[in-house]
Structures are given as C-alpha cells and as structure tokens.
Amino acid sequence: MFALVDANNFYVSCHRAFDPSLKGKPVVVLSNNDGCCVARSNEVKALGVKMGTPWFQLYDLAKQHGIIALSSNYCLYGDVSLRFMRILAQFSPVQEVYSIDECFLDFTGFNYIDMTGYGQTIRQRVLQWLGLPVCVGIGPSKTLAKLSNYVAKKREQHQGVFDYSRLSQQEQDELVSSIEVGEVWGIGRRLSERLARQGIETVKDLRDADTKTLRRQFSVVVERTVLELRGVSCLDLEEVAQAKKEIVSSRSFGKLVVKLDDLQQAVASYTSRAAEKLRRQHSVAGALQVFLQTNPHKTGELQYHPNILIPLIEPTADTGLLVSHAMRGLKRIYKPGYRYQKAGVMLMDLSGAKTSQPDLFSHVSTQDRQKSQRRMETLDHINRKMGRGTLRLAAEGFQHTWKVRTDYPSPCYTTRWAELPIAYAK
C-alpha cells in the first residue's frame, strides 16, 4: 500500500503560510525574470488563467480582479520543502521524495490502521506545523496512489484524502470511467492523443486494454502502467535519490548583456552552483559545456547561440578548477557586438567521487587532491551554515547587473536572519 502526499499550490501556499493577508486572494508566482505564471492560487485558476501564461498578458485581468503577483523565492520553497519531508518521514519508515512538493510513503503492513483517518492526521499535522494544505492519495500501487491524490484534490467530498482500496469493484469501474486517460501518471498529452486513436480515452479503457498489444504498439512503460492500474505494484519506492547524469545551471539575465566581464561573472556563478550540486551527490565531472544565447524573439537583432565542450583531463568537483575551465571556454565562444539573453554551464560525464579513476600521467599529486577535497568541504560547510554565497570565488563578482529581475520580491522568511518574521504579543 502506498500514499502520495502533495502540497496544494505549493509556491503560493509557502507565501501564504508567512503572509496570512494573501489567503483567499488571487495570487500568482512568476518564473525567473517575472516572465510566466508557474503557480496559481485556486482563485486565479477559477479566472481561467493557464499555467505558463506570460505575466504581461494578465495586466488588465490583474487590475480587474486584484491579482497579486510574486517573484519566485526559491530559498523559501526549498527550506519549506525540507521541513515538509521531515514531517512526512514521521508517518512511514520508508519514503520517496518525488519532487519539491510531493512525497510517496510506504504503508505496507499498515492494514490495521484506518487509512483515511491516518491520511487526515497527516493533513492536520502538516497544516498545523507548516501552514501547508495537502492532499493524500492512497492505493495498492504508486500509479493508483497518484491517481487517488488527483481524486482527493479535485473532489471536495473526500476532504483531501482518498483511499482507492476501499472501493468495491463496481465503484472502481465507475471512478476510472469518469477520468480522462491523460490524468494517469506518465501519460502525457502526445501519448494521450495516440491512445485516443486506439479508442483508449478513459482510465478504465487503459486499465482494461490488452497489455501485450500496448507493449508492442507503445512501450514496456505503458504496459507497466496498465499493471499498476490493476493494482499490481511494479514500481518500488526509491529511498535514495538517483544521482543525476548531467547537471545544468543556467538563467536568463535580468537585462541583455553585452560585456565579457558581466558574462564571466554569470558563468562563474552558474559553475559554482553546479559544482555545489555535483559535490552534494558525491560525484565528479569529466567534461563541461558552456553556452550563450541571444534573444530569439528579437528578430531584428543579430542572433548567436554558441556552445563549447571542454573535456577534463581528470574528473573533478573542485569549484576553482571548474570555473577556470569554464572561463577559458567562454572566452573562446564570446563575440562582441551581440546582446546576450542567457548563459549556462552543463557538467557532463559524471561519475562517483570514490570510484573515479585519476589520470595515470596527471601532474596532480594525491596530496593536492586531498587539499582540494578539504577546501571544498570547508566551503560547503560554511555556506550551509551561514547561507549560500557567504564564501565564493572572486570571479563571481559582487555587483551583478545581470541578476535575474524580481519586481515583486518577498522576504526569505526562514533562511536570512534579517528577514525572519516577527511575532508581537499583546
């Protein structure tokens, strides 16, 4: 038995937890540079605003209905997510953190417990301790738990918790007949269209389809999804997050950049961030790619989208070495006369730090490698304790004119001392 716990409108709910004045009001959270809507409150959804709608297209609607826009606050979301997952860990010995706002729990052996009541306990605990509204879906497979979460969220009569296993066979048939196949976990828009051409339009149609035919026409993944819909658990919980095979760090600039100095600061910052993620998963990189991009929507301007791949003689996770290679790559692809909208770095050919094979003819000694490792451990420790960016390379600069635009900022309530919320007692 599995449960999927999902925070409702997570980004918006994080802001509302610390700013109660936002509750009941239409709120959107915007993407980098305040471009598009990446989170919408229920009040905004009721107005017909779609995910990804550009903010500039909503100016008139926002004035008419009082929509409140907020810039993304990733420090806040990350910290609240960490607390959220720690609370959920108290309800099951096994959990899989699926995304920033979703978590699978293993309820195997919990047969003696009222699952619906247990789900309500989870909801109340998270709401009381974090101020986040959540929904809980329960089922005999991960796919059914995900589908049950959809039902819990969309159908108010279930009060945020839905246990698929409590339904009779007839009730299950009626439920899955009323849900479009595109709502099934892993069935995207294109696959839904292909399935529709085969006469498979509802979840029931997919569940009852012939598995061998689906495997032959589509893939083993679709076959496995069908088995999961039948209650056959094919997907185990992944207690340990899988190490990424590539790490990308990239952002669009707050304004178009033309100077090499500004690009060097940005690329150095992005490389440092990627190196931090690399060490967090205990990996090293064997190559890196640097890329630049002008604004493709400005058709009247010169366009240039270069990239360069830099193989490393010896895999490393040292920020200084990676930044040094990235700077050399940037200088080779940079051309003056262009207005750059975006830059980024991709770390590639990743392998485990403990299993990586050093170069036989490398001039780097074992002592130098140990010094590099201790230096990076110290860097990460200080930045974890005192805040990201407390220690950084000089190449990252201090005055970032290219920084992401945030016209609607909010405080980092839990990650900056100067912005901690203050409670007054009367």
Instruction: Mark which of 140, 162, 184 sits at the end of a domain.
Output: 162
Using one digit for the tens of pLDDT, what is the confidence trace for 303-320?
A: 999 999 999 988 999 999
Q: What is the mean pLDDT of residues 33-40?
A: 90
What pLDDT sits at residue 61? Answer: 93
Using one digit for the tens of pLDDT, what is the confidence trace for 43-84?
A: 999 999 999 999 999 999 999 999 999 999 988 999 999 999
Domains of the chain: total: 3
Is it the case that residue 388 has pLDDT exceeding 80? no
Using one digit for the tens of pLDDT, what is the confidence trace for 316-340?
A: 999 999 999 999 999 999 999 999 9
Do 147 and 196 fall within a single domain?
Answer: no
Residue 108 lies in a domain: yes
Do 129 and 183 fall within a single domain?
Answer: no
Residue 235 lies in a domain: no
What pLDDT sits at residue 167? Answer: 92
What pLDDT sits at residue 335? Answer: 94
Domain span at 289: 247-396
Q: What is the mean pLDDT of residues 158-186?
A: 92
Instruction: Mark which of 230, 255, 277 sits at the end of a domain.
Output: 230
Do 280 and 211 fall within a single domain?
Answer: no
Do 88 and 178 fall within a single domain?
Answer: no
* 412 close to 419: Cβ distance less than 8 angstroms: yes
Long-range contacts of 125-129 (CB under 8 A, 24+ apart): 125/87, 125/90, 126/5, 126/7, 126/84, 126/87, 126/88, 129/83, 129/87
Do 378 and 273 fall within a single domain?
Answer: yes
Do 273 and 335 fall within a single domain?
Answer: yes
More confident residue, 122 or 417: 122
